[in-house]
Structure 1
Amino acid sequence: MVELLAPAGSREALTAAVESGANAVYLAGSMFGARAYANNFDEDGLREAIRFAHLRGVLINVTVNTIVSDEELPAIKDYLRFLADAGADAILVQDLGVAKLAREIVPQLPLHASTQMTVHSLEGVLALQKLGFTRVVLSRELSLKEIRHICANCEVEIEVFMHGALCVCYSGQCLMSSMIGGRSGNRGRCAQPCRLPYTLVNEKGEDVLGDKAGSYLLSPRDLNTIDVIPELIDAGVASLKIEGRMKRPEYVATVVGTYRQAIDTYYAGAGYKVADEARDNLAQIFNRDFTTAYLLDRPGKNMMSDRRPNNRGLLIGRVTSYDWDRRVVTVKLSGRLALGDQVDFWVKVGGRVTATIYELTDAKGNSIAFGQAGDTVAFSIPSAVRDHDRVFKVYDAALMEKGKAMYTAGAPVRRIPIAVRVTAAIGKPLTIELDDGKGHIASAATAFIGEPARKRPLSEEVVRKQVERLGTSVYALSQLKVSIEGDVMVPMSEINEARRQAVEQLDALRLAEFAFPPRKFAALAEPRPLPETKAQLMAAVDTLEKMKAAIEGGADGILFGGESYEHRTIALTDYEAAWQLAKEAGIRIDFNLPRIIKQNHQKAVEKLLLAWQQTCRPAAVHVHNIGAAALVKRLTDLPVHADYSLIAYNKATLAFLKEYGVAEATLSPELSLKQVQALAKDAPLPLTCIVHGRLELMVSEYCVTGSFLGSVDKGACSQPCTKGHYALKDRKEALFPLVMDQYCHMHLLNSKSLSMLPHAMKFAPLSVSMRIEARAMAADEIRHIVKAYRKAMRLPADLDEAQQAWVKDQEGEEITRGHFFRGVL
């Protein structure tokens, strides 16, 4: 049976999840979880949470899915040991360095690959399978067809999201929060800039959408797969996951309970059908409107909540009149409305009006507790509304109370049925045997030896009364067999003590089921040879014209290809020509792979790799995720360079990459210069830093221009990206350029160019190469900035006034130092 996996950001949410029918729960401790702002669990809380869940047969997966700094490595080692000792059932990781430490320190703990690892192909899944991972959480950009293919061709468990908030960017590939506000999504502190308003503008700065779309162009709807549960299960998915560790426990209870019923209905085999009440409950508890994301098709603008980035509630009626004097509105209901509910009016002028229902009257003016669909009701509101304005219920008091009952009852809601057998006889202790039907049988006996009864002999009724007193234990009496020989007397206190001991023993037997035997891991890989030539100054380009400009400027290395920022295919002939140019110039050339390589594009990439090996061998191939690294290793003997999106943030990750056969690495742009210096001191492989250019803040399967201008939801996109250049403008008038590659992935670039020009001379002494991200630049700009870096590399570390003025003139105004001097939270 498929696992129903629920989120828990608090103790109350954990209880709600378990009592509502979750098979497993994922949660975080106070450190290293990708939802740092949730009300997470301290060590005592984690131990108690694990025991609570295990007694009920529920697994606890702990998220350790942030990237960690060198300073945090000692703490995470201790934390991993604690989790193993506390009895966690698995750890969910993003950082490959953390995975390496877990393999070494707590090999008994199953490893789950977080969706933050950006695993979106069978190649990536198989790579992690070889590394000893037992489960992989796939990227949310995959179709049912792709998921089915992966499940059918791997041995690890596959986990997919089935409900909750969506990221517009491929998870693990977003730098927007950290670059704009210093809060890193990769470190669990995402500020959600995707939920803010933006305007799509052309090269002239003109709004090209107007009222054709809302302002929230990067805000996706919420995922809802209630209608495709059979297809997901039939695809072979092992675990269906609900997103929501930041959500309140009532949300967890409602969503888990709804999907529990849906999954059970599917397995019952009487035909799968979703009740209207179930749909309404999912919408009512929280929705930004719903989508199935990419499971069934390419939804384009239909995946976006562009008019509102937060909960929109459930449409329950329209305004029929408004009494300006009394400030009372009359509403024709299309759904239920009751006292204690809260509604939003979507008014035509002035935004929204919110009201809580404290008093409610019917069409005749009589006070009522609730109204149903078809009724006309009236109630007070604070501001004016107009006829035909829509009314959305954003808080349902009854639904919230139902959800609250799942974690405030005090005693278990879902109990485990047990069969109890009691025997008593004169001259023998009374014995109690408990059987949970799962192979666990516990028994206990009284210290008291049964005596002849003088007044009231022990009866089955008395025994039942004592045995049924299971109180706050997780068990419920389902069957009782009592065997009493003669008129025997046993004190009630003795029976109660025996029952307590039997319950404790049954608890222990059930908890022992969750121990894991140690696992052995295979060796990682053979080391790959290092590139023959090392370049101090590299330039990343996607056309031959840009490459020539970089060479003319003085670059001593080129990173060529990968994605085209000009939405054109980069053919083998382009790579061959680039290789020839580099050979003639006597400089190093590396080839780049795309950041995202989905199944339908992998064959073309494989052909390129094989051709490169035969006709134009690069110094290294740059890879952006574990799947791409495995692909290069499987097909070629070319050196592998782990690029910045295969995040290297600490020395443990660098050690892993070295062991995996990687020859070089580009460090994460979220590192500070101080951290770079520390890593470079004893780095096990050559390092590179990106020092200049517009950094990619997002790479997305969703395309703003294709969705709202190209009608991608209606079939083939008209490709407006080939007819002009576009950007997103934020509330502060900052412009974030958009580029669409040959695979129709949207790349959102930073509004400012990273520049370390005044500090260019500081990298060579560290033996760290520099890279200029030049794909978004014109040829003249590339030539100019490469030449400037070549000169700056020869300047002293402390610049005089003239040198500072020169640097400022070369850089221009719209620049940023990125995280080199501020780091990230």
Structure 2
Amino acid sequence: RGRCAQPCRQKYELIDINSGEVINSNGDYLLSPRDLSTIEDIDKIIDAGVHSLKIEGRMKKPEYVATVIGGYRNAINEYLNDKKLNVSQETVNDLYTIFNRKFTKGLILGEVGKDVMNSEIPNNQGLYVGRVMSYNKKAKRLKIMLDNTLKKGDGINLGGGTIGRIIKNGEITTIAHKGEIIELDFIGEARINQIVFKTSDSELMNRVQATFQQEKENVKSEINAEIIIRLGENPILTLNDTKGNKAKIEGDKIVEKAMKVALSQEKIESQIQKLGNTPYILNKIDVVLDEGVSLPISVLNQMRRDCIELLDEERIKINGRNYKDKKVAYKPFKISKNVDEKIRVKVKNLEQLEAALECNIDVAYYEDVNTLDKAIQMGLKYNKKVVYSAPRIVRYKEFKQLDRAKNLGIDSVQIGSWGVLDYFKGCQLSIDYNLNAFNSETINFFKEEGVKSLCLSQELNIYEIKETLKYTDMEIEAYVYGYTPMMITEYCPMGVIVRDCKKDKRAAACKESTYALKDFKGEEYRISQDIFCRSTIYNSKVTCMLDNLYELNEIGIDVFRLDFTLESGETVKEVIEAYDEVLENDYKLGAKATKLYNKLDNVGTSAGHYYRGVE
């Protein structure tokens, strides 16, 4: 939902927040992943039991979509038919040429760390075709030793534009191949041994553009035909496809005895096969024809056209599908409830937890399963409820980590994913904002599942929240303080850049979270790791709704959520006391709240999407 600002394609520096030191890296694009290409291992994915493959084509040219889908379609068909994968070098070259930021086989095939990233270039790299041997700037001639084919009209990564002519052995040509030395007319900068990439291919573009020309059907479905032409009767044409759809048409002219030339089977087949720019191709035709009869060719042609239209209409219908009434009634009823405002916090470690428990809070959500036993004991000491907050992402083998929480006999859990919801069924559940509850129907669904409280999606604005809460009496939390997670990634900039980690070298430094990404505006985005080595990158500005709590309470918010990530215990206490002061002071800022508000405002705050929504 919303538009992509492409933050992963921006330049960043990795900095140590304690020393300010910039960590050396091999490029500036520290969050830029390579493009996924699994075509040469597509057999493994199919054999794993996958039935549907998604090919990402948003924000790409139609030529890209046609090239990629065509290559994968051919590879998949060949494997399904012959049980042998054979991806041609031409197909691989086409994929490199049409667009790539270097390729990776991705997490699905086991690549991790720097093998999935390309920090050097955020846009198309192209297909490697050779190296620069020399450049005569005065003569404007670039000499290249080729390792792949290059043609007139192709584009390369040097100089821009397309190749006008190719000079080989002193003669002008339009194409050159691997192992040949060529010269190009060239204006720009180049150095000896510089790598040359082909970034566009004129022949490839023409070929794939032909596959999606308008007013032309390129994907054909097989159909079978039967035509019955008997003397003294109206002719009948029947068409059916491989999915059981059938169309039948009767000609409007009675078949007569031929006066001169009788209608032949060959002529009938020839006319029925003229399917032209329709989505069909004739597989088989059965002809029942009396001898010595005549029928105008125009009648056959009209029958074919009419029957095709009928078949089109039949194929739109899906046999066996039960359709709902055209008008779906939706009449939610309004619910009134009493709002009893509370403060709840979410913390990551024992220092933050103890500081929070010393304040006036209702519940503390606690993330660290490794110290959960101590956290629960600390809650008992302060007579406050401590609830385990399960990770947002948990893969199959990782659920064993959650056994540690289960074995402690916990009765309450905060969850942010469907898998965890099922795993902790039977516990008292609180829904976190990660499950993106966006309307009253979702909220009431969770209520029916036995959920106690729910934190709204951070994508809702205040007007949408007001309308949503008219139709539910669930206890509702709203995120009013914290550094919002902007990205969660399997790739860890800290581990890979600092230690070339492949998720096999988790160190104490990872837990310390002492690194941040700094963008070109000077904004710093802190990074932390969870127990599974996944990195969370947080917003550079803290969400602060200190001066807007009354407005949220007025529209039905019960619980004000304060989320702490990398704050010290001292800061945790300062923030909670400021928010508590506002509630105690009839939603007016007192001394503590004013001091915190000014402090945060000086470094920059955000109101999230409360007043602007999602674009």
Task: With the length of structure 2 as denominator, give the TM-score of the two structures.
Answer: 0.90
Q: Tell me the equivalent position of 1:103.
A: none
Letter in 1 for 2:239: L
Cα distance, 1:437 vs structure 2 = 4.7
Please point out which of 79, 83, 90 is paired with 1:277. Answer: 90
Cα distance, 1:417 vs structure 2 = 3.4
Q: Tell me the equivalent position of 1:259.
A: 72
Please point out which of 781, 793, 799 is paired with 2:571. Answer: 781
The superposition leaves residues 561-592 of structure 1 with CA deviations (integer Å, 9 ceiling, x where unpaired) of: 22x4xxxx523422332331342xxx343321
1:244-643 to structure 2, matched below 5 A, reads: 244-269=57-82, 271-345=84-158, 353-364=159-170, 366-408=171-213, 410-513=215-318, 516-517=321-322, 536-552=342-358, 554-562=359-367, 564=368, 570-583=370-383, 587-613=384-410, 617=411, 620-633=412-425, 636=426, 638-643=427-432
Q: Distance in 1 between matches of 2:220 and 2:467?
A: 54
Q: Distance in 2 between matches of 1:714 and 1:746?
A: 11
Letter in 1 for 2:377: A
Q: Distance in 1 between matches of 2:389 and 2:523?
A: 30
Q: Distance in 1 between matches of 2:506 and 2:347?
A: 26
Confirm or deny: 8 A CA contact 2:165 2:172 kept in the other structure.
yes
Letter in 1 for 2:540: S
Letter in 2 for 1:362: K
Cα distance, 1:763 vs structure 2 = 4.2
Cα distance, 1:195 vs structure 2 = 1.1
Q: Distance in 1 between matches of 2:523 and 2:168?
A: 51
RMSD: 2.6
Q: Residue 263 of structure 1 aligns to a residue in which SS?
A: helix
Q: Distance in 1 between matches of 2:143 and 2:559?
A: 69
Cα distance, 1:466 vs structure 2 = 2.0
Cα distance, 1:377 vs structure 2 = 2.1
Letter in 2 for 1:743: F
Q: Distance in 2 between matches of 1:433 and 1:682?
A: 55
Confirm or deny: 8 A CA contact 2:97 2:201 kept in the other structure.
yes
Letter in 1 for 2:45: L
Cα 1:667–1:439, aligned 2, differ >3 Å: closer, same or farther?
A: closer
Q: Residue 498 of structure 1 aligns to a residue in which SS?
A: helix
Query: Is structure 2 residue 493 aligned with structure 1 residue 704?
Result: yes
Confirm or deny: 8 A CA contact 2:440 2:469 kept in the other structure.
no
Structure with higher Rg: it is 2
Q: Tell me the equivalent position of 1:671.
A: 460
Cα 1:718–1:607, aligned 2, differ >3 Å: closer, same or farther?
A: closer
Q: Distance in 1 between matches of 2:569 and 2:190?
A: 56
Q: Residue 404 of structure 1 aligns to a residue in which SS?
A: helix
Q: Distance in 2 between matches of 1:197 and 1:480?
A: 63
Cα distance, 1:202 vs structure 2 = 0.7
Q: Distance in 1 between matches of 2:606 and 2:548?
A: 13
Cα distance, 1:709 vs structure 2 = 1.8
Cα 1:327–1:448, aligned 2, differ >3 Å: closer, same or farther?
A: same
Cα 1:424–1:670, aligned 2, differ >3 Å: closer, same or farther?
A: closer
The superposition leaves residues 505-544 of structure 1 with CA deviations (integer Å, 9 ceiling, x where unpaired) of: 333443334662369xxxxxxxxxxxxx977112212223
Cα 1:719–1:702, aligned 2, differ >3 Å: closer, same or farther?
A: farther
Q: Residue 537 of structure 1 aligns to a residue in which SS?
A: strand
Letter in 1 for 2:345: A
Cα 1:270–1:693, aligned 2, differ >3 Å: closer, same or farther?
A: closer
Confirm or deny: 8 A CA contact 1:623 1:640 kept in the other structure.
yes
Confirm or deny: 8 A CA contact 1:362 1:377 kept in the other structure.
yes
The superposition leaves residues 460-498 of structure 1 with CA deviations (integer Å, 9 ceiling, x where unpaired) of: 343233222222222223444444323222112211122
Cα 1:740–1:799, aligned 2, differ >3 Å: closer, same or farther?
A: closer
Kindly tell me the number of residue pairs found equivalent between the two proteins. Answer: 598
Letter in 2 for 1:627: G
Cα 1:363–1:447, aligned 2, differ >3 Å: closer, same or farther?
A: same
Cα 1:379–1:661, aligned 2, differ >3 Å: closer, same or farther?
A: same
Confirm or deny: 8 A CA contact 1:645 1:668 kept in the other structure.
yes
Q: Distance in 1 between matches of 2:362 and 2:588?
A: 27
Confirm or deny: 8 A CA contact 1:763 1:769 kept in the other structure.
no
Letter in 2 for 1:817: A
Cα 1:795–1:820, aligned 2, differ >3 Å: closer, same or farther?
A: farther
Q: Tell me the equivalent position of 1:23.
A: none
Q: Distance in 2 between matches of 1:673 and 1:509?
A: 47
Confirm or deny: 8 A CA contact 2:513 2:527 kept in the other structure.
no
Q: Distance in 1 between matches of 2:214 and 2:606?
A: 54
Confirm or deny: 8 A CA contact 1:202 1:726 kept in the other structure.
yes
1:734-813 to structure 2, matched below 5 A, reads: 734-765=523-554, 766-795=556-585, 806=595, 808-811=597-600, 813=602
Q: Distance in 2 between matches of 1:804 and 1:487?
A: 101
Letter in 2 for 1:545: E
Q: Distance in 1 between matches of 2:389 and 2:418?
A: 15
The superposition leaves residues 160-189 of structure 1 with CA deviations (integer Å, 9 ceiling, x where unpaired) of: xxxxxxxxxxxxxxxxxxxxxxxxxxx231
Q: Residue 239 of structure 1 aligns to a residue in which SS?
A: coil
Cα distance, 1:703 vs structure 2 = 0.7
Q: Which runs of 4+ in 1 moved over 6 A?
A: none
Cα distance, 1:767 vs structure 2 = 4.3
Cα distance, 1:603 vs structure 2 = 2.2
Q: Distance in 2 between matches of 1:291 and 1:207?
A: 27
**Higher relative contact order, chain-length normalized (CA < 8 Å, sep 6+):** 1
Q: Tell me the equivalent position of 2:10.
A: 196
Q: Residue 367 of structure 1 aligns to a residue in which SS?
A: strand
Confirm or deny: 8 A CA contact 2:415 2:429 kept in the other structure.
yes
Q: Tell me the equivalent position of 1:48.
A: none
Cα 1:291–1:435, aligned 2, differ >3 Å: closer, same or farther?
A: same
Cα distance, 1:700 vs structure 2 = 1.7
Letter in 2 for 1:233: I
Stretch moving more, 424-433 or 776-785: 424-433
- Give the % identical residues: 30
Q: Distance in 2 between matches of 1:791 and 1:593?
A: 30
Letter in 2 for 1:197: K
Cα 1:193–1:234, aligned 2, differ >3 Å: closer, same or farther?
A: same
